[in-house]
Chains A and B, each alone.
Chain A
Amino acid sequence: MIELKQINKSFGDKHVLQDVSVTFKKGRPNLIIGASGSGKSVLMKCMVGLMQPDSGEVLYEGKDFTTISYEDKKLIRREIGMLFQGGALFDSLTVEQNIMFPLNMFTEMSKEEKHDRINFCLNRVNMQNVNKLLPSEISGGMKKRVGIARAIAMNPKYLFCDEPNSGLDPITSRVIDSLILEITEEYDMTTVINTHDMKTVFDIGDHIIYIYQGKKAWDGGKDGITTADSDALQEFVKASVF
């Protein structure tokens, strides 16, 4: 379980996050939604340790990620898988080498075991015969799927997805959404997804956090989103749907 308590983050005079407190559910996709510039990406970066919040706690199973030592942080990070907006695949490595990378760094697996794991992960994201291709030789949707394959290679407990559908066509977006949902349920992961795609929200949004001007403005499920008592959220939903 991941818990955020009173997270604050400022850049100069600009208060980007203000007292954000959330508990993310295990085994379900947790969606952070909000307009561009609302602070959702900063919130995710604070959660995975790419940014240090000014104050507040980021708790992984009760351990405060913001105050533990660098070595302890590394241990938690090995349980984190992350899908970046652009895939963030290593340009100089093939698809296979990208997925093998965390296995090489942190496991004692034999070559055969690594190849089995790579093929399993690629099959899991419905990709075959791409092992030897470079990231520059595959499409945006394929990059995202390879990104997911790399993220799950180490069997993470926590999966973070930053705008998984950005730049993708609607059909590929739905494929990625259902893939994330399936993987989350199958491996009982705590999945946190940053998105402003309302189709994703209505498809897989079991737990939704709406961030408005750096504050948590609403927290609930997809069923309650259209009747939520937040004007900003209603405006956001209407603008996205209609």
Chain B
Amino acid sequence: MFTRPERFAIYYQRTMMEMVSIGIGSLPIVAIISLFIGGVTTLQIAYQLVTGLVPSSIIGSIVSDSTILEFAPTITCLVLSGRVGSSIASEIGTMKVSEQIDALEVMGINSSGFLALPKITAALFVFPLLIMLAMGLSIWGGMMIGDLAEILPSEAFIRGARSSFRGFTVTFSLIKSVVYAFIITSISCYQGYYTTGGALEVGTSSTRAVVYSSVMVLFADYLLAQLLL
């Protein structure tokens, strides 16, 4: 797969298109999920911290830390494995069963590289951006719900978030997002590329891509936490 592209300009063009497809296409779902995760986390932490001994600003601290460390990268990528993974596997799987991949091969094009490389490269660039957006929106969502539900004022939320903030957590989260991007796109491309049969098998490949990449994302989550924290 990682061979020299036949025509760099075309690979570049395809990578840009994939970045738009993965990035812009995933924006609405990432935004909705992030806002709700932040809001719900604030509500649930407030519910658990009923004692007056703990300052309410701790809610901001917990919401931001858990969002940056876990919710934004992992939950978002699990959702992306559904949206992006199934789309990649079904697209390549359909190309496989309708002989479009054979047509590429007969033309003398390295089909695996031509199809997978732009998708993987695009995801490696776009996933971290989506995760950063998810972090921001999730924390903002938590702060807004805290304010609207009169759990804690925005100032206290921000004070709590800033008090526990460590720069490495963001770096760790971005490392996770890059690893997840590679896992999701490579597994999905593989499942699509090795589809045999017809429409039923394309569906099976798509399902398998989502399931395998989700499991591998969780496994990588554990491994990275063990290694880097």
Contacts and interface: CB of A to CB of B under 8 A. Distances in A.
A203 B223 CA distance: 66
Given A88-B100, A104-B10, A82 B94 contact: no
B105 to A, nearest CB: 6
A91 B107 contact: no
A75 interface: yes
Contacts of A104: 7, 10
B102 A88 contact: yes
A141 B99 CA distance: 17
Interface string B80-95: 0000000000000011
Given A91-B94, A104-B10, A105-B10, A82 B108 contact: no
A88 B94 contact: no
Contacts of A73: 108
A106 interface: yes
Nearest to B105: A50
B63 to A, nearest CB: 41
Interface in B1-39: 6-7, 10
B99 A86 contact: yes
A167 B183 CA distance: 41
Contacts of B10: 104-105
Given A105-B6, A106-B6, A50 B108 contact: no
B108 A77 contact: yes
A80 B7 contact: no
Interface string A149-176: 0000000000010000000000000000
Give chain B's interface secondary structure class: helix
A48 B7 CA distance: 22
Contacts of B99: 84-86, 88
A78 interface: yes
Given A84-B102, A90-B100, A75 B94 contact: no
A15 interface: no
A74 interface: yes
A49 interface: yes
B3 to A, nearest CB: 9
Given A73-B108, A104-B10, A106-B108, A82 B98 contact: no
B106 interface: yes
Determine the interface band of chain A, counting residues with CB < 8 A from chain B.
20 to 34
Given A85-B99, A106-B6, A48 B106 contact: yes
B103 interface: yes
A160 B98 CA distance: 17
A74 B108 contact: yes
Most chain A beta carbons < 10 A, residue from B6, B7, B10, B109:
B109
A104 B94 CA distance: 23
Nearest to B9: A104
A102 interface: yes
B132 to A, nearest CB: 30
B13 to A, nearest CB: 9
A82 B102 CA distance: 10
A82 B6 CA distance: 20
Contacts of A91: 94-95, 98, 100
Given A105-B7, A105-B10, A106-B6, A78 B108 contact: yes
Given A80-B107, A88-B100, 13 more contacts: A50-B105, A50-B106, A77-B105, A77-B108, A80-B108, A84-B99, A88-B98, A90-B100, A104-B7, A104-B10, A105-B107, A106-B6, A106-B7
25 contacts: A49-B105, A50-B105, A50-B106, A73-B108, A75-B108, A76-B108, A78-B107, A82-B103, A82-B106, A84-B99, A84-B102, A84-B103, A86-B99, A88-B98, A88-B99, A88-B102, A89-B100, A91-B94, A91-B95, A101-B107, A105-B6, A105-B10, A105-B107, A106-B107, A106-B108
